[in-house]
Chains A and B, each alone.
Chain A
Amino acid sequence: MRLDDIKESALMAFDTLRANKLRSLLTILGVTVGVVTVIFMVSIIQGLNKAFAQQIEALGSNAIWATKFDPSFGHQPTSEEIHRKDLTLEDAEAIRNEAPSVLSVSPIHRKIAETVRYADKQSDTPIVIGATPYYEFTQSSFVDRGRFITDTDMRERSNICVLGIDLVKALFPYEDPIDKELKINGKPFKVVGVMEPLGTFLGQSRDNQVFIPITTFAKYYPGEQPFPEVVFVIIVRPKSRAYVKSAIDEMTDILRRRRRDATGAPSTFGISSQDALLDIYNQLTGATALVLTAISFVALMIGGIGVMNIMLVSVTERTKEIGIRKAVGATRLNILSQFLIEAVVLTAFGGVIGLVLGEVASLLTNKYSPLPAFVPMWAIVVGIGISAAVGIIFGLWPAWKAARLDPIEALRWE
């Protein structure tokens, strides 16, 4: 097909659109709705993905976590899991010494909802984290002012603490917290540093925490602690993203050996990574996307049937015109392509309107909701592509009908 044919067809198509504004609008509505659905839903899923990926990224670059629990998403720890023995500092030390893919290891012991007081102010929500000096580097989370926990603090089981920014705001609104003494669960601690703000994860602040030496933690919270308030976690930073998998394998071997897990029996601990979290998340959004794809498909089908209907009407109405075109030399292919292009212009036009509306909806979502919705480039291409495809699929039969008309009959048609 030559460019002139396409131009003639496109002109004819726009002409028809102009001549039947309302009808065209109603016809393309179905396609528009379909494309809006596709675009808007894609933008929301993309926004969710982006938000989640950002959150996970913020948890610490490439971090791997080991606990005595199965890390599966939505899994409630069983009583068997709760009664397993905790991971230990020695386990962490073994990983540090024996796993070649691992760059650094930071065991933490944490307790949620502890009471922290300073003068007349009190907070009951902070997480107390018993940490080692390796925490900063392993988690890529650093002290902002003052200092972090040192080896000396570890050795001496010092009563020092480093505050998250939320606690500074809650307890020291008007003064410098450094060197002040506060009470954690009634025990005196000296503030030696303040952490950089971390922001939120899935809507929850990550700065509502206070760090103490893990040895000091053991002093005040000895023995087996009740789940779920206290959890022992070994955080591992692999050499790079490429080492995540081998680091997990090495950790698994080391921990299975140390915990004497029988060969063939399941591990009595769980290891998770950002990738694993992302995988779980992607499975969830994948299911959502499938449902939305089905909805869009139905909308586009309805739109396509509307287009077919109107194209059939159009062919009948323009029988005479087809006769004229055939009389002056239009071949069947000419007529077929003209009506096909008209259908495609019609649906592509509906697709473009749908794209614009979808984009607007996405921008509004982005602006007025916490979701960073956005329309990726590929969705625009896919949106226009599928609307054009609807035009071709549903325009083919009417166009073929037009192409097959007998010129004599067509010219006689009034």
Chain B
Amino acid sequence: MSDVTLAAPPTPSALPEQPVSAHDANSLISMRDIWKTYEMGSEQVHALHGVSFDIPKGEYIAIIGPSGSGKSTLMNLIGCLDTPSKGEYWLNAKNVSLMDDDELARIRNQEVGFVFQTFNLLARATALHNVELPLIYGGIGSSQRHEMAKEALRAVDLSDRITHRPNELSGGQRQRVAIARALVNHPSILLADEPTGALDTHTSMEIMDLFERLHGEGNTIIVVTHEHDIAERAHRVISIRDGLIEKDEKIR
């Protein structure tokens, strides 16, 4: 729980009810007064207190903040790995905030493509099988699955590496496999958590170029990072500090 602020502001219920506008039907992502509270023993710790923003389809956005700012918590919420303690989260016109574990799994499968700092590939599976994984859980038949996975690997220029296992690939190649996996289901959002954190500068730039290309092809991309030069590649930057949005600006 490194991203949790230990400052203890008033609990959500103790705050006066703020006027909250209904979710924007045109937005892909609509967050309304999102709170996330953890129980740490007897203490309540607020990782997020009242975050609201909208992300339209096709945007390239960076969420930036120092360690402990609440940005990882926010990422987990956007990625539907968790639900907010309070507030509404609409993703692609679905109210995620009220979903149970299995509904969240379904949403992650259909709407979210994850890219992680440490790639998080299955070590013993081939690149192709790794990319197929979301399709397996999406219930896609095997021949169509192979085609879609190959197509996704072609999109990240790894057609010649489909039978390689992660330990036979370079860091940049692994991250491209992860990106292919994230995109294979044509999700609503590509959600990257420190995608270049484990890569050298040159490879990082390659990956960021790839993101730019994918954005150009119409994908909605959200990059969570603490590095400013990575954030600056995005078109909009949301800065998080102490569980609140500090700044939300278009930079391009």
Contacts and interface: CB of A to CB of B under 8 A. Distances in A.
Interface stretch (A134-142, A222-230, A329-337): A329-337
Contacts of B108: 326-329
Contacts of B114: 327-328
Contacts of A15: 124-125
A328 B76 contact: no
Nearest to A320: B120
Contact of A329 (B109, B122, B125): B109
Given A329-B108, A407-B81, A5 B120 contact: no
B106 A331 contact: yes
Contact of A408 (B81, B138, B142): B81
Contact of B136 (A8, A19, A323, A327): A8
Interface residues of B, number: 27
Interface in A392-414: 407-408, 411
A320 B119 CA distance: 12
A332 B81 contact: no
A206 interface: no
A80 interface: no
A4 B141 contact: yes
B110 A329 contact: yes
A328 B112 CA distance: 8
Nearest to B119: A324
A219 interface: no
Given A329-B105, A329-B106, A332-B101, A4 B120 contact: no
Given A4-B136, A4-B139, A329-B138, A324 B102 contact: no
A332 B138 contact: no
Interface in B53-90: 76, 79, 81-82
A330 B105 contact: yes
Nearest to B124: A15
B137 A408 contact: no
Interface string A327-349: 11111111000000000000000
Contacts of B82: 408
B229 to A, nearest CB: 26
Contacts of B141: 4
Contacts of A332: 101-102, 105
A334 B102 CA distance: 10
A259 interface: no
A253 interface: no
Contacts of A411: 81, 116, 120
Contact of B139 (A2, A323, A326, A328): A2
B158 interface: no
12 contacts: A8-B136, A320-B120, A321-B122, A325-B133, A328-B114, A329-B105, A330-B105, A331-B105, A332-B102, A333-B102, A334-B137, A408-B82
**Across the A-B interface, the 7 shortest Cβ-Cβ residue pairs:** A329-B109, A329-B137, A328-B134, A331-B105, A331-B102, A324-B120, A407-B81
Interface of A: 2, 4-5, 7-8, 15, 19, 320-321, 323-334, 407-408, 411
Interface of B: 76, 79, 81-82, 101-102, 105-106, 108-110, 114, 116, 120-122, 124-125, 133-134, 136-139, 141-142, 181
Given A328-B108, A331-B105, 11 more contacts: A2-B139, A320-B120, A323-B120, A326-B108, A327-B108, A328-B133, A329-B138, A331-B106, A332-B102, A332-B105, A333-B102
